[in-house]
Structure 1
């Protein structure tokens, strides 16, 4: 728009306002999302897309929302983010940890665009971060698995050895061990967020080692299908309810509820109050939900798990409460001590009792 057309439009708007007639509607806020997996993965990306749809429902024609799915971390992500910025999107949500450096690079080139990065820790004046305390849900899963396992072997499919995943493995093991001193934790690294074939292979490897519970930090339902084939193996839904596999093998789930956060942040962008921040929500804020615990779980175990959920949600209990040692036996937390968030955010060790090797 040139200066003359701008002045004409402004004057016309003023005349309409003075006459009591409706003024021209403001252009919608253009918002972009990128997902590491397909929106139909029924896990991580699916839940983020549910949040995107919640934005559209909440704000209607005030927003124009687009998404790009199955965007690989690395150069592809940087190209996708650049494309969204060049297309006029003024608020962009990047929904995977491995997008972090790409977000920072593109944000530096587009200072007038607001970026939100899920699970990252780097920020800037136009880059905010948001994360969920997934480890809180893993503590509840560990309690159920520890109570129900017949083999005393619990398996965990890790995506990448980053703090978020290590937190989950540790929390699940600690709480399984609390209720079953004989429990062992087996870990297989898939080195992917979403790859059904690799996830199925990882589940099969854990099952072959005698694990009758398989937890996952990957996004497809392939581990559920592999457990269903085995017949005597239980699983938990990851990120979404994965209810198609209930009541067995999926006996419970952690649910990532991003919608309230997305609605709040879009509202801030619309009213001009958006600013960079770091958000780390959990059960207490509703960002981490606990899905249906099925009839396969004994009532007393369900009650114990839900009581733990309520204590965590109320802030009465922290899943990492000492005494706890690191894997090498060195002291980490004294009795009753809990870690600061910065320590958790950089977690790079297993706790004592886990025999699996942590990749460097």
Structure 2
């Protein structure tokens, strides 16, 4: 019988051939998306990282910078089921999760699936729906299932929610509840394109649908294999402690009223494993964790409004806190 004091054995690291397969597939996927999204390679890479880490992605920016286009390009690059939900003030929770309908012929209730029953769910302008409707996503994003009238329905794997939202200063928007924001692994801003990328966009996309010629470069089955490869990536104990220290720094900072949750720590490490695997490594290094601190943590924290000083953003505070945490030496491959 194994003693409870013995350390839990780590799973075998991914084989070199598996890592090569992963890097080839993700490179094809990113290049395919970048046929549509000009000059945003970092944002595209973040979207692929979230998918491999079995997370969900929140794209936040002003209208017209390509948030919906990116989510559609990612969905079209994978041969899988895709559903789009247009969030509006009159959208009901049952439109998202599904509803039981009484069949007059069979005299029984039948479940009609809602918009979340797909491999890739595009939630367009998620913060234009009421908080009640937004909350319909909580169970499916965390537990990958939907419960309607006491019956639970499993969602297919992979399952990825890519949601877009406009800044809360825009007219007709609702702030996402903290519990909803915490379900998103990353929040990424698109930003305006650089001049050369905008000129290329006019030359390539004006007068035609840029998504029209986009073909899938992988499928759901292959994505499931890549997710399992990422899950095997090794994270040394000192790197785990480093991730915990960064998250705990947000909970003790006098500039923050609400720090990041334990779920944030899990998401930070899972995303770092995806970054490491995409880089061809079987282990995570501290720089992987540090580079992800802002996109993974900043949308989960709440700034104090009663502190004096220059205006600052949550991203600035999280970036400064993460940089202040001492970095351990990188782990050696086993």
- Structure 1 length-normalised TM: 0.25
Instruction: From the CA coordinates, give the structure whose radius of gyration is larger.
Output: 1
- Structure 2 length-normalised TM: 0.27
